[in-house]
A and B are shown apart, each in its own frame.
Chain A
Amino acid sequence: MYGVIPVAIALVAWEAVARLDLVPGGMFFPPFSMVIEEIYDLAMTGVLAENFMPSLLRVVIGLASGSVVGLLIGTAMGWNRQVGRTLGPIISLLYPIPALGWLPLMMIWIGINELLPITIIFICTFFPICYTTATGIKSVDLRFVQAARSLGASDLRILITVIFPMALPDIFTGLRLEAGMAWRVIIAAEMVAIPTGIGALLMKAESLVRVDIILACLLILSVMCFCFERMFLFLESSLIDRWR
């Protein structure tokens, strides 16, 4: 509840400042209520769905595929020293490249189609998830592995029933961070190169000087980042809190 109060105060302040024309160039600072009205209009006319759904699908597909592949390769790197030593340097070299830095290259290799934004989200998600998974796996105390071995468990069983569950706190940290990051990246990719999506709608609104639509898109982006992060927080809480 305490988190809601500052947000409510900020929204009330925004409304008041805009309504009272306290900012020069009033048309560039519409009140909060006008932004909400615009979201409603966009929803009713179908423009919102037309642009929001593609962005949502791209994020979900890119995030899911990047996470799964990152989890698999990160697990292999964390569990097997040889795999870690082989892939580690390559991952370390590629990880620092920002996801959007891949955009020009992918535009040439893939072209401008649905695969382009999904690939960018995939790249944005894969490296951090791979890294946090490998770290999580390696950080599991060896004594738990020894205990499981002494009880008769095979290596595969140990990986699935002991190591992976105990690495979940680290893995979920990566997933929570990337959930929000995926939305930020997709907006930027759509602003630059993709003709559909929330980012593209943002650019169209900018060219028409429709600040209300721009703010509406930013509000939607903020809510989606928040919702996705909360979703992973909820998952983490239900899987881990009872034993942490």
Chain B
Amino acid sequence: MLVGPNGAGKTTLLNVVAGLVCYKGSVLFDGAPVDSLPARKRNVGYVFQDLVLFPHMNVTTNVAYGIQALDWPQDRIERRVTELLEVLRIPRLASRYPTKLSGGEKQRVALARALAAHPKILLLDEPFNNLDRQTTRLLRTELKLLQRDLGTTMIIVTHDLTEVEGIADRIAIMLEGRIEQVGRPDEVLLSPGGTKTAECIGFPNVLACQKTRDLGHGLATVACDGIDIVVPHNRSPIRKIIVWPRDVLVSLYPPPSQVNAFEGLLSEIIRQPGSVQMVVEVGGCRLMAELPQQLFESMSIAEGDKVYLELNLMKIRTYEEYGISSSQN
């Protein structure tokens, strides 16, 4: 997964891998250079940020385009298109034109088209842009399943790390045209290499856990720097937990539930374009919460005020003793 802010060069990098732009240097697939191969011979599937479905072709023709260009026999083309439409659950759209498709449907068609020729590498540029949360969740699940079933190498570009958690084996942080850090998701999230990288991934709240107490039913209580938090739990003791600032709920009044609810002191307000980050001292730790600017202004709170935080159980990511444990999200 390639993460970085707008203008970092992520799309350019994908275009280089696909051979769609001129570049200096070398691109290697399994150690073999492909620089002399034009784009059409690199066997790379590409789902563009704007999807770029051919408007004058219906769904079937769009999906079949690449394998027709490769001169597959007609019956094989038909079988492959039918198979892909079934896998992506869009067989009813076969004769529709792109202007008559929803955003999620277009994404699936673009994915089917990119996968048709069994590419060695699949490039996805901001695949969940402009999709609602539910569609994003569904497509994310499908991508996970495809990745597992096809074994295709995928490079997914996003500016929002939370979109593709659970899919990535490795994360690369790209800033201003350079790869700043590459590693497993837990390495990057738990140990960002520098302030700019931390800014890029969103300053998650990372809490070290000193003790884990199993509650059964897939839950545990962890003691993190003086506060007890209920988290999803597999088996092993939990080493660290991560909560994204936007998943920390803030209110001026005690929340009705006592689970994962804490009283704290607002110690710092950091204003960003369109949002406000708040540093809250809770027990022995500092938690960062993020609110949209309008909502923050309506609450009329200032540094030094008492606030109440609530952590959504479903949004907590846990990291156990022997590798990564995904959250329930």
| Chain A partners chain B | yes
Q: Using a CB–CB distance below 8 Å, which chain A residues touch chain B?
A: 141, 143-144, 146-154, 157, 161-162, 165-166, 168, 240, 242-244
Do A151 and B52 touch (CB < 8 A)? no
Q: Which of B43, B44, B50, B58 contacts A143 (CB 8 A)?
A: B50
> Can you show 18 pairs from A to B with CB atoms below 8 A apart?
A144-B52, A146-B52, A147-B46, A147-B52, A149-B40, A150-B39, A151-B113, A151-B116, A152-B43, A152-B66, A153-B40, A153-B69, A154-B69, A161-B65, A166-B54, A168-B56, A243-B57, A244-B55
Label chain A's interface by main secondary structure.
helix
Q: Is B203 an interface residue (CB 8 A)?
A: no
Do B40 and A150 touch (CB < 8 A)? yes
Looking at the assembled complex, report how far the CB atom of A156 sits from the nearest CB atom of chain B, in whole angstroms.
Answer: 11
Q: Which residue of B lies closest to A150 (CB)?
A: B46
On chain B, the residues within 8 Å of A240 by CB distance are 56
Q: Which residue of B lies closest to A141 (CB)?
A: B52
Complex Cα distance, B1 from A242, in Å, reads: 38
Total interface residues in chain B, CB < 8 Å: 30
On chain A, the residues within 8 Å of B113 by CB distance are 151
Complex Cα distance, B160 from A78, in Å, reads: 39
Do B50 and A152 touch (CB < 8 A)? no
Q: Which of B38, B40, B41, B97 contacts A243 (CB 8 A)?
A: B97
The 3 tightest CB contacts between A and B, nearest first, are A151-B66, A153-B69, A147-B52
Q: Is B270 an interface residue (CB 8 A)?
A: no
Q: Is B20 an interface residue (CB 8 A)?
A: yes
On chain B, the residues within 8 Å of A244 by CB distance are 55, 99
On chain A, the residues within 8 Å of B18 by CB distance are 150
Q: Which residue of B lies closest to A146 (CB)?
A: B20
Looking at the assembled complex, report how far the CB atom of B35 sits from the nearest CB atom of chain A, in whole angstroms.
Answer: 16
Q: Is B117 an interface residue (CB 8 A)?
A: yes
Q: Which of A148, A165, A166, A168 contacts B65 (CB 8 A)?
A: A148
Complex Cα distance, B116 from A30, in Å, reads: 70
Given A150-B18, A152-B69, A154-B69, the answer on whether A165 and B56 have CB atoms closer than 8 Å is yes
On chain B, the residues within 8 Å of A141 by CB distance are 52
Looking at the assembled complex, report how far the CB atom of A184 sits from the nearest CB atom of chain B, in whole angstroms.
Answer: 32
Looking at the assembled complex, report how far the CB atom of B125 sits from the nearest CB atom of chain A, in whole angstroms.
Answer: 11
Looking at the assembled complex, report how far the CB atom of A164 sits from the nearest CB atom of chain B, in whole angstroms.
Answer: 10
Complex Cα distance, B217 from A163, in Å, reads: 58
Do B48 and A143 touch (CB < 8 A)? yes
Do A166 and B44 touch (CB < 8 A)? no
Write out, one digit per residue, whether chain B residues 31-74 have a CB within 8 A of any chain A CB (1) or not (0). 00000001111011110101010111110000001100110000
> Apart from A153-B40, A242-B97, what are 7 other A-B pairs with CB-CB below 8 Å?
A143-B52, A148-B65, A150-B20, A154-B40, A162-B54, A243-B57, A243-B97
